[in-house]
A and B are shown apart, each in its own frame.
Chain A
Amino acid sequence: MIEVGMVLEEKIFFVDRDLLKAYADASGDQNPIHQNEEFAISVGLPNVIAHGMLTMALAGKYVSDWAGGSANVREFSARFIKPVIVPAGEKVDLTVNATVIEIDGNTFKLEITATSAGVKVLGMAKAVVVK
Chain B
Amino acid sequence: MINPDSVGRTFHGVDQITVTQSEIDSFAAVIGETNTTVAPPTFSIRISLSQYESILTQPEIGVNWSRLVHGDQKFEIFRPIVAGDVFTCSATIETLRVAAGNEIISVRSDLHNGPELVVSSWSTLVVRG
Contacts and interface: CB of A to CB of B under 8 A. Distances in A.
Given A28-B49, A70-B80, A52 B35 contact: no
Interface stretch (A2-10, A72-80, A99-107, A110-118): A72-80
A45 B33 CA distance: 30
Interface in B10-50: 23, 26-27, 29-33, 35, 37-42, 45-46, 49-50
Contacts, number: 92
Nearest to A24: B30
A74 B26 CA distance: 22
Interface in A41-58: 52-54, 56-58
Contacts of B42: 53, 56-57, 60, 76
A14 B126 CA distance: 27
Nearest to B26: A26
Contact of A79 (B38, B45, B72): B72
A26 B42 CA distance: 12
B30 A70 contact: no
A29 interface: yes
Contact of A73 (B31, B32, B41, B74): B41
Contacts of A26: 23, 26-27, 29-30, 46
Contacts of A79: 71-72, 124
Nearest to A123: B72
Say whether chain B's binding surface is mostly helix, strand, loop, or mixed: mixed
B27 A73 contact: no
A52 B77 contact: no
A53 B74 CA distance: 11
Interface string B44-83: 0110011000000000000000000011111111001000
B73 A60 contact: no
20 contacts: A22-B26, A23-B30, A26-B27, A26-B30, A27-B46, A28-B46, A52-B70, A52-B73, A53-B42, A53-B70, A57-B31, A60-B31, A61-B31, A70-B33, A70-B38, A70-B41, A71-B80, A76-B41, A78-B74, A80-B70
Interface of A: 13, 19, 22-23, 25-29, 52-54, 56-58, 60-61, 63-64, 69-71, 73-80, 124, 127
